[in-house]
Amino acid sequence: MLNDKRIKNKILRRVLLVGSLKLVVFAAIIGRLYKLQVIDRDKYKTLSDKNRINLKFHAPLRGKITDSTGKIIANNKSVYSLTYSYSYIHNFESTLAKLIKLINFNDLELDIIQREIINIKMTNKNIILKEYLSWKELSIIYVNIEDLPGVNIKSSSIREYSRGSYFAHTIGYTSYIKDKNTEIGIEKKMPFFLKGQNGIEKIYDNYLKGIPGTEEIEVNAKGKFVRRLSFIKSKPGKDIQLTINSELQDYGHNVIGPNIGAVLVLNAKNGDILCSASSPSYDPNIFSKTLNTKSWNNILNSANAPLINRPIKGLYPPGSTFKPVVALAALKYGLIDSNEKIFCNGTYVLGDRNFHCWKKHGHGKLNLLNAMAQSCDTYFYDLALRLGIDKIADTAKLLGFGKYYDDYYGISKSIIPNKEWKKNNFNERWQKGETLNVGIGQGFLLSTPLELAIMTGNLINNGNIIIPNIIKSISGENLNYNKNIKKNNFNIEHLNIVKKAMYRVMNTPNGTAWKSRIDDRGFKIAGKTGTSQVRIISAKERETGIIKNEDLPFEKRDHALFTGFAPYENPKYITTVILEHAGGGASKAAPLAKKLLIKSRKIIEGLDTDPTVS
């Protein structure tokens, strides 16, 4: 009996042990189910949705870009491409074979497809088989689409630049995002998303690009469409209107002709850019489609650098167009007045060096007004030496050289040298002879055409500062960047003396631009010519006779410059012209500036100007 009791206890213990083990296992199962269905519900729902739901993004239309009158410069053009879905990768070879029989693929396209197929296996992303289908190709694919599993026709848009090369540097261009690793957000998930790469397209990309749309699509286990779950329409980008007048822009390019250079026309009151022409140029439409490496390298390595936006980024010795800065500095610091005369015999001696005036035998005695009119180098050597380089540099900066305005113009790379600059860049002391070179716009001094135009505006505006502006409105909202007019703190009397001196450049018989004058009393032109040397003239050449520009190799010829305004009494337009290696500013640049100012008045105001002279 005792033995039976022991057997019963042993069985009971085993039953309890087995029961406990079952309870633990059951509890674990219940806990796991609770974790899966309650705690991790959202996680596994998301994983399930990722397998069941495809999220697509739709690229928005970019905003249009128009000129000051509303003419469209940049717009969107519909194009069609063939894409292939990764869900049908197992059918790819046979599908491609069918496609090749239907439409033409060149060797480059086939090579790209083979590389993309490797990527599709790793990324599970759709690929582009062929871009920019013709209407004939589109119709062929559409008719045979049922026999091409995985192939889709994708509609997208590219940029179309109706004014072509005439606006290339201003507008810039766009391209599809190719390097997906360089972008953030949903943009990298859209194969047809346009991004600004240069000019207005780049700087104002956030305004122009719009907001992508989204679409949720339910698919089955094979990745085939079941139904659309949601759809949010994309929002187009904002339209941008420029201050540039396209008719005047076209004229600016025609005026430059075959020359290399830049022309600018600004509103003299507020700095609005009315024309900004750069030559040579390029067709921005080539960037709207896939650009092969050879074509890109041809543009990039062109000897005449067509990609440089010369009016904004071109760097040139300003030559004698810088003399108004030196004159104003001398007046500002009380180192001269408009009546004091300085004698020019053709040579200015500093130590054991001779600095030459452009007029070999000199100008004789000249006051400031006549020295500016005749562009006497000796006079400005003397002023520069009195001032010293730091006072010249400070005055230049107050007139707009070296300024940062916004990202479109960028950080100026012009060189306005002073003692500190020389020390920092060469670890050398500044020399007096270098001051004389800067006094006539040569030496280390480099500036952009825009800076010369802004300098002109700040000289002639009764002490008001002008700021360059190229945006008129965004989505119809007018912008006024110069609403709060600031003063430059120069003495108005001094500014008027310099302005009067610029008038004499064109309106006195000895003035360097006398031949470009007009007698229309309502539209008198004033300005300053400049001829900047790009070579050193030896003493021997001076003795035997300076070689004429036309007899020199092209790259050693002088740059021709002019900056001016009209009308003299109440300036409305500023123009700056720079022609690379064209020769003298008086003979080459000033006549073009005259044409630009007359045309500006005609286009903007509808007023004719009598170009005849007595």
Q: Are residues 331 and 429 in the same domain?
A: yes
pLDDT at 181: 47
pLDDT for residue 87 is more than 80: no
Q: Is the pLDDT of residue 204 over 80?
A: yes
Classify residue 48 by its DSSP letter: H
- On whether both 430 and 579 belong to a single domain, the answer is yes
| 143 has pLDDT over 80 | yes
Q: What is the DSSP letter of 334?
A: T
Q: What is the CATH number of the domain that holds 406?
A: 3.40.710.10
Are residues 202 and 331 located together in one domain of the fold?
A: no
The CA-CA-CA angle for residues 473, 479, 482, to 5°, reads 140
| Residue 299 covered by a domain | no
- What count of residues does the chain have? 614
Which one of 212, 239, 266 terminates a domain? 239
**Can you tell me the mean pLDDT for 263-287?**
95
Q: Retrieve residue 123's tokens.
A: 């990324």
> How far is residue 534 from each of residues 310, 433, 444, measured CA to CA in Å?
17, 18, 12
Total tally of structural domains belonging to the chain: 2
How would you label 446-476 residue by residue, b for 16+ Cβ within 10 Å and e otherwise? Answer: bbbbbbbbbbbbbbbbebbbbbbbbbbbbee
Q: Give long-range contacts, CB 8 A cutoff, 24+ apart: 184-190.
A: 186/57, 186/212, 186/214, 187/212, 189/57, 190/57, 190/58, 190/59
Residue 71 has phi, psi (to 5 degrees) of -70, 135
Q: Which residue has the higher pLDDT, 265 or 42?
A: 265
pLDDT score of 182: 45
Same domain, 491 and 387: yes
Q: Are residues 367 and 222 in the same domain?
A: no
Say what the pLDDT of residue 450 is.
Answer: 97
In a domain, 494, yes or no: yes
Residue-wise pLDDT for 439-450, tens only, equals 999 999 999 999
Helix/strand/coil for 452: helix
Are 351 and 461 in the same domain?
yes
Question: How do residues 302-314 score in pLDDT, each as one tens digit?
Answer: 888 899 999 999 9
Kindly tell me the number of DSSP H helices and DSSP E strands found in the chain: 21, 21
Half-sphere exposure of 487 (CA within 13 A, CB side): 7
Say yes or no: 331 and 464 in one domain. yes
Q: How many Å apart are CA 573 and CA 275, to the nearest integer?
A: 11
Residues 500 and 381 in one domain: yes
Range of the domain at 165: 54-239
pLDDT of 191 strictly over 60: no
**Sequence-separated (6 or more) residues with CB below 8 Å from residue 295:** 286
Q: How confident is the model at residue 96 (pLDDT cuts 50, 70, 90)?
A: confident
CATH number of the domain enclosing 222:
3.90.1310.10
Per residue in 3-16, pLDDT tens? 666 676 677 777 77
CA distances from 112 to 108, 131, 383 (A): 6, 12, 65
Co-location of 224 and 324 in the same domain? no
pLDDT at position 3 is 62
Q: Which of 215, 239, 263 is the last residue of a domain?
A: 239
Mean pLDDT of 160-165: 91
Supply the pLDDT for residue 424.
96
104 and 230, same domain (yes or no): yes
Whether residue 45 is contained in a domain is answered as no
Does a structural domain hold residue 568? yes
Tokens 């700021």 label which residue? 467
pLDDT at 459: 97
> Does some domain include residue 332?
yes
The predicted model gives 69-90 an average pLDDT of 86
User: What's the mean pLDDT in 276-288?
Assistant: 92
pLDDT tens by residue, 476-530: 887 765 555 678 889 999 999 999 999 999 999 999 999 999 999 899 999 999 9
Asked whether residue 231 is domain-assigned, the answer is: yes
On the question of pLDDT at 542 being above 50, the answer is yes
Active site positions, annotated: 320
pTM over 0.75? The answer is yes
pLDDT digits (tens, 9 = 90+) for 446-480: 999 999 999 999 999 999 999 999 999 998 887 76
Q: Which of 191, 221, 239 is the last residue of a domain?
A: 239
The answer to the question of residue 460 being in a domain is yes
- With respect to residue 528, please indicate whether it lies within any of the assigned structural domains: yes
Reply yes or no on whether the pLDDT at 586 is more than 80: yes
> If you average pLDDT over every residue of the chain, what do you get?
87
State yes or no: pLDDT of 180 exceeds 50. no
Of 389, 320, 381, the residue nearest 349 (C-alpha)? 381
CA atoms in the 13 A half-sphere facing the CB of 303: 2
If you average pLDDT over each of 101-110, 293-302, 353-362, which comes out highest? 353-362
Question: What band does 49 get if pLDDT is binned at 50, 70 and 90?
Answer: low
Is residue 350 located within the same domain as residue 214? no
